Amino acid sequence: MILYELVPYDVLRVLWWVLLGVLLIGFAMTDGFDMGVGALLPFVAKTDLERRIAINTVGPTWEGNQVWFILGGGAIFAAWPPLYAVSFSGFYLAMFAVLAALILRPVGFKYRSKRDSATWRSSWDWALFVGGAVPALIFGVAVGNVLQGVPFHLTPDLMSIYDGSWYGKFLGLLNPFAILTGVVSFAMLLTHGAAWLTFKADGTVAKRARAVGSVSGLVTMGAYLLAGLWLAFGITGYRVTSAIVTDGPSNPLYKTADHAGSWLVAYADRPWIVVAPVLALLGMTMTVRGLRNGGEGSALLWSKLAIFGTIATVGLTMFPFILPSSVDPQSSLTVWDASSSHQTLFVMTVATVIFLPIVLCYTAWVYRVLWGKVTADDITGHSETVY
Average per-residue pLDDT for the chain: 89
pLDDT of amino acid 184: 97
> pLDDT digits over 339-353, tens only?
999 999 999 999 999
> pLDDT digits over 213-241, tens only?
999 999 999 999 999 999 999 899 999 99
> pLDDT digits over 71-121, tens only?
888 888 899 999 988 888 777 788 888 889 988 888 888 888 888 888 888
Domain ranges within the chain, ordered by starting residue: 7-380
All residues at 6 or more sequence positions from 131 whose CB lies less than 8 Å from its CB, including other chains: 35, 38, 101, 102, 103, 104, 105, 108
Hey, what amino acid is at 70?
Answer: I
Structure confidence at residue 168 as a pLDDT band (50, 70, 90): low
Report the distance separating Cα 259 and Cα 243, nearest Å.
17
> pLDDT digits over 198-217, tens only?
999 888 999 999 999 999 99
Structure confidence at residue 14 as a pLDDT band (50, 70, 90): very high
SS (H, E, C) the chain: CCHHHHCCHHHHHHHHHHHHHHHHHHHHHHHHHHHHHHHHHHHHCCCHHHHHHHHHHHCCCHHHHHHHHHHHHHHHHHHCHHHHHHHHHHCHHHHHHHHHHHHHHHHHHHHCCCCCCHHHHHHHHHHHHHHHHHHHHHHHHHHHHHHHCECEEECCCCCEEECCCCCHHHHCCCCHHHHHHHHHHHHHHHHHHHHHHHHHECHHHHHHHHHHHHHHHHHHHHHHHHHHHHHHHCCCCCEECCCCCCCCCCCHHHCCEECCCCCCHHHHHCHHHHHHHHHHHHHHHHHHHHHHCCCCHHHHHHHHHHHHHHHHHHHHHHCCEEECECCCHHHCEECCCCCCCHHHHHHHHHHHHHHHHHHHHHHHHHHHHCCCCECHHHHHCCCCCCC
Does the pLDDT value for residue 382 go beyond 90?
no
pLDDT of amino acid 312: 96
Average pLDDT of span 162-186? 81
Angle at 323 between CA 322 and CA 324, to 5 degrees: 120
Does the pLDDT value for residue 167 go beyond 70?
no
> pLDDT digits over 16-60, tens only?
999 999 999 999 998 888 999 999 999 998 888 889 889 988 888
Point out the least confidently predicted range of 253-257, 285-289, 376-380: 376-380
pLDDT of amino acid 186: 96
Does the pLDDT value for residue 384 go beyond 60?
no
Asked if 315 contacts 18 with a C-beta cutoff of 8 angstroms, the reply is no
All residues at 6 or more sequence positions from 375 whose CB lies less than 8 Å from its CB, including other chains: 53, 202, 203
pTM of the model: 0.92
Structure confidence at residue 165 as a pLDDT band (50, 70, 90): low
Structure confidence at residue 189 as a pLDDT band (50, 70, 90): very high
pLDDT above 70 as % of the chain: 96
